[in-house]
Amino acid sequence: MNTFLEMLAHLSIVVTIAIGVVLIGRAPLRRFAGASLAYASWSLIPIAIVAFVIAKNLPTARFGLTIPSAMQAPAISVSSAESASRIGFDAALGWLAVWFIGMCVAAIWFAIRQYRFVHSFGSLARDDTMPTTTPLFRAAETSTGPLVLGLFRPRIVIPADFYERYSEAEQRLVIAHELAHVRRGDLYANAVATALQIVFWFNPLIHWAARRMRFDQELACDVLVLGASPDLADQADRAKTYAAAVVKTAFPKHASPLACHWQSRHPLNERILNMTAAKPNTASRRVAQFGLAALITASCYGALAFADKTPNPGAGQFRIDFEYTGNESESPPHRNEKRKSFAMVLDANKAGSLKVGSIKVCEFEFAVSRIDEQKVRVRFPHTCNDERNPDANLIVKLGEPATIENGGDLPGVSWSHSLKFVVTDGNAKPSSKSEPGTITRTSFRRN
């Protein structure tokens, strides 16, 4: 559970850094390479997330993601910070509940926004006036559209007065703009952005960046539509016509998190200036493309390096050195104390078995998972005196001793077991040639 929250925090850091890089680079990219490449730079964020997750789960990487099972108090006594472990678990459970509730609230909020947006159309009627590759629908209201929506079945929605409001030339450019959204896969990009906003609802930068991404999306489609003609004079005429269409467009009262619709009037001047700006020359475009490729490569490398420096409970080895002391008495009463020491080398999250005692036998299964650079969780489900405790575990620091004690008085038998152990990083190979999951006896003494 702690590991999941740590992974979420690390991913939020990766996303924040990637957004910062994109926000710094989008203006120079737009200037030297055009709006399309500036919009493409937003792909850096999901690429960085994927690189980080892959790095965390590669067998060759140092760290990976595991979610520990629920912790319950062991039935035997331990001379370690058991209460601190329980408090840590309760705190982690509380933070996980806060994150999950926030995620549900964010998902409901986006669903309400999408519902209000779709129902602002009124009824939709199929329109075959203009032949298009994507189905065209006409809304009953004049305050909606033009837009494209439908992740799996895209459709273009135009306002009720579309043919009266726009000239024929403007109509063709507006429909071309919506078709450009479909061809570029912008509906999927919006879905990914919305998913990130839901998962990382606690990160305000993600919500602000999503709005900037949507604006760059519109600029990229503008460039695609205006650049369809190779004739520069025709491009200038198209830009004037297109700008007039933008001015005539009614902007929706309720923004959609998923649909591609014309954005609010706030960046209108910037959008028109982008239409009339001179196209970047080929040399500057090539340099900018190379720069973006280098930026993506560097960001992936950074995500991989960051993943390698974050703790991973699913990789590495641990060495456990044990010191066992046992006392078992039978009638007639006599002292029978046993002492022995041994070591166990385990792969992370792999169990190794251990049996102590002769009259009253306790059988343990030890497994270790890393919490951070200094702490590990030791699980030791065990059976003592025919009683099974499958959930015993505690948190210890590497190199610091902990003790498990058990005992009792039964008819004719008095017994106690004390198992002191120290966990160390097994990646530093012990001098003995122990195989993972095996026990090596180093000394034995009977009094």
Q: What is the pLDDT of residues 122-163, one digit of tens each?
A: 888 898 888 888 899 998 888 777 889 988 899 999 888 889
Among the listed ranges 8-22, 41-55, 282-296, 433-447, which one has the minimum average pLDDT value?
433-447
DSSP three-state, residue 380: coil
DSSP three-state, residue 210: helix
Please answer whether residues 278 and 34 qualify as being in contact, where contact means their C-beta atoms are separated by less than 8 angstroms.
Answer: no
Identify the pLDDT of residue 277: 54
- In this predicted model, which residue has the larger pLDDT, 70 or 278? 278
Of 111, 125, 134, 157, nearest in space to 258 by CA: 111
In order of 262, 269, 290, 363, the CA distances from 251 in angstroms are: 6, 15, 37, 71
Identify the pLDDT of residue 274: 58
- Euclidean distance between the first and final Cα of the chain, in Å? 45
pLDDT confidence of 68, banded at 50, 70, 90?
A: very low
In this predicted structure, the answer to whether residue 60 has a pLDDT above a threshold of 50 is no
In this predicted structure, the answer to whether residue 436 has a pLDDT above a threshold of 70 is no
Q: Count of CB atoms within 10 A of residue 104's CB?
A: 12
In this predicted structure, the answer to whether residue 349 has a pLDDT above a threshold of 70 is yes
Distance CA 81, CA 89 (A): 12
Of 14, 9, 10, nearest in space to 98 by CA: 9
Could you check whether the bond before residue 146 is cis, i.e. omega within 30 degrees of 0? Answer: yes
Distance CA 421, CA 412 (A): 30
In this predicted structure, the answer to whether residue 432 has a pLDDT above a threshold of 50 is no
pLDDT confidence of 66, banded at 50, 70, 90?
A: very low
In this predicted structure, the answer to whether residue 212 has a pLDDT above a threshold of 80 is yes
Distance CA 268, CA 262 (A): 10
367-384: pLDDT as tens digits:
898 887 788 888 888 887
In this predicted structure, the answer to whether residue 447 has a pLDDT above a threshold of 90 is no
Distance CA 211, CA 213 (A): 5
Q: Give the residue-averaged pLDDT of 190-212.
A: 93
In this predicted structure, the answer to whether residue 359 has a pLDDT above a threshold of 80 is no
Please answer whether residues 397 and 410 qualify as being in contact, where contact means their C-beta atoms are separated by less than 8 angstroms.
Answer: no
Reading the block at residue 399, the tokens are 């190199």
Question: Can you tell me which residue has the tokens 């702690």?
Answer: 2
Q: Give the residue-averaged pLDDT of 191-195.
A: 94
- In this predicted model, which residue has the larger pLDDT, 351 or 312? 351
In this predicted structure, the answer to whether residue 291 has a pLDDT above a threshold of 80 is no
Identify the pLDDT of residue 32: 78
Question: Can you tell me which residue has the tokens 């994927």?
Answer: 50
